Amino acid sequence: MMRVRREAYETMLAHAREGAPEEVVGVLVGRRDPDRVTRVERAHNAADTPRTRYAIAPTEQVELLDTIEAAGDEVVGFYHSHPAGPAEPSATDEERAAWPGHVYAILSLAGEPSLGAWRWTGTAFDPVTVTVD
């Protein structure tokens, strides 16, 4: 299970809406074991095709990770949006996942906004229950 602070969820939702129709991306910040997201760090989507892909530039990723570590927090995982698709990983999301043990959250704007989450095992995504409080 992953608990997400309401303020962090609202920040992700605002980010996704501002970025639509392109996907947005960011880092889930807080504590792992158990997963507790207390805030998020927005990132610039550096993908070549941001309407259907997401990527964080390596230099920005290092800067974000340094900022998170300096604050005494942990990377719980990453989030991105699906402006017109479901809140579930695509084949591309699975091909590009690179952080085993971390959560990948997807915020869908198709219809009523919804948030799904999966833990990357290194070979597959396992569903994670999400609560927002």
> Global pTM?
0.96
Please give the full DSSP string across 65-106, using - where no structure is assigned: HHHHHHTT-EEEEEEEEESSS-SS--HHHHHH---TT-EEEE
Instruction: Single out the catalytic residue among 23, 41, 74, 88.
Output: 23
The pair of structure tokens assigned to 110 is 């198709």
Catalytic residue check, 23: yes
Tens-place pLDDT, residues 101-110: 999 999 999 9
pLDDT in tens, 6-61: 999 999 999 999 999 999 999 999 999 999 999 999 999 999 999 999 999 999 99
Give the distance from CA 33 to its chain's centroid: 17
Q: CA-CA distance, 8 to 5, in Å (whole number)?
A: 5
